[in-house]
């Protein structure tokens, strides 16, 4: 029996949702996502950059631009609106949800949970928006490819990395779809689990170094460098040009 809540569409069972998703391949086959060519009327990069700068502090814009100039990956990271314009015109199943909106490789990292456990997850949601489900995974694999190129990986290695990311995404999504909401809420990837998945001694050493560095960046360690006391109040330290208190203007 399919349960129905007053005023809402019937909730499909897991098997029904899976079958419905596969049926969409008839109208939007997976091969439709394999190729892309810039359209003749593609949005102008400089115009998009200028639009994105309109509400930014003018004195910080040159710093943003200098960071984006360091590499293709840095430029890709700094202008998600460019990829959003491109993705909006690609074939889609139109299964929409609240996406991250900026799901690239460098927006994943470590943070301390309320229980002070070190957890690995996505760390940035300031571009979140309602969009097609595939936008996040496409942005992620493009960032992985750019990072691999920056590390001078050959084309075969780049493709292997992309296949690995997509396979893990698919398999984890299938696993999570079987969990009850409460179990999903408590699902996490902590430092112990990551170490258990590290292959080989060199991978374990690298992972341990990364975890140790993350522990040194928790708020308890960083707080003395970020704030000082102003009488009875704590204030963020002035560290121009990146950290400062904006001056009020008449």
Predicted TM-score (pTM) of this structure: 0.83
By residue range, what is the domain housing residue 227?
Answer: 198-241
pLDDT of residue 117: 84
pLDDT of residue 6: 44
* Residues 111, 178 contacting (CB under 8 angstroms): no
Q: Is the dihedral of CA 140, 142, 144, 146 positive or negative?
A: negative
* Residues 242, 57 contacting (CB under 8 angstroms): no
Residue 3: inside a domain: no
Three-state secondary structure call for residue 58: helix
- Whether 224 and 136 map to the same domain: the answer is no
pLDDT of residue 15: 86
Could you write out the three-class secondary structure of 134-155? HHHHHHHHHHHHHHHHHCCCCH
Dihedral of CA atoms 201, 204, 210, 214 in degrees, nearest 10, equals: -150
- Of 133, 152, 179, which one is at a domain's C-terminal end? 179
pLDDT of residue 249: 64
- Whether 150 and 205 map to the same domain: the answer is no
What is the tens place of the pLDDT at every residue in 152-177? Answer: 999 999 999 999 999 999 999 989 98
Low-confidence ranges of the chain (pLDDT < 70): 1-11, 249-250
Backbone angles phi, psi at 121, to 5 degrees: -165, 180
- Whether 202 and 173 map to the same domain: the answer is no
What is the tens place of the pLDDT at every residue in 110-130? Answer: 888 878 888 999 988 888 989
Pairing of strands 118-122, 233-236: unpaired
pLDDT of residue 2: 43
| Number of domains present in the structure of the chain | 2
């Amino acid at each position: 029996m399919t349960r129905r809540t007053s005023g809402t569409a019937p909730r499909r069972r897991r098997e029904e949702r899976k079958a419905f998703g596969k049926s969409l391949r008839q109208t939007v086959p997976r091969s439709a996502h394999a190729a892309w060519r810039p359209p003749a009327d593609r949005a102008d990069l400089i115009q998009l950059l200028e639009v994105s700068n309109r509400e930014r502090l003018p004195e910080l814009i040159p710093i943003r631009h200098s960071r984006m100039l360091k590499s293709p990956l840095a430029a890709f990271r700094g202008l998600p609106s460019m990829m959003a314009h491109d993705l909006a015109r690609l074939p889609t199943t139109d299964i929409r949800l609240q996406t991250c909106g900026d799901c690239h490789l460098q927006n994943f990292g470590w943070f301390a949970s309320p229980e002070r456990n070190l957890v690995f997850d996505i760390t940035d949601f300031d571009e979140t928006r309602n969009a097609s489900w595939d936008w996040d995974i496409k942005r992620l694999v493009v960032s992985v490819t750019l990072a691999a190129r920056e590390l001078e990986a050959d084309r075969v290695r780049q493709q292997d990395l992309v296949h690995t990311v997509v396979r893990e995404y698919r398999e984890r999504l299938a696993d999570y779809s079987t969990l009850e909401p409460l179990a999903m809420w408590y699902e996490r990837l902590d430092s112990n689990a990551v170490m258990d998945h590290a292959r080989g001694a060199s991978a374990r050493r690298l992972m341990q170094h990364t975890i140790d560095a993350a522990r040194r960046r928790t708020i308890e360690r960083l707080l003395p460098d970020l704030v000082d006391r102003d009488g009875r109040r704590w204030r963020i330290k002035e560290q121009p040009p990146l950290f400062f208190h904006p001056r009020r203007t008449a």
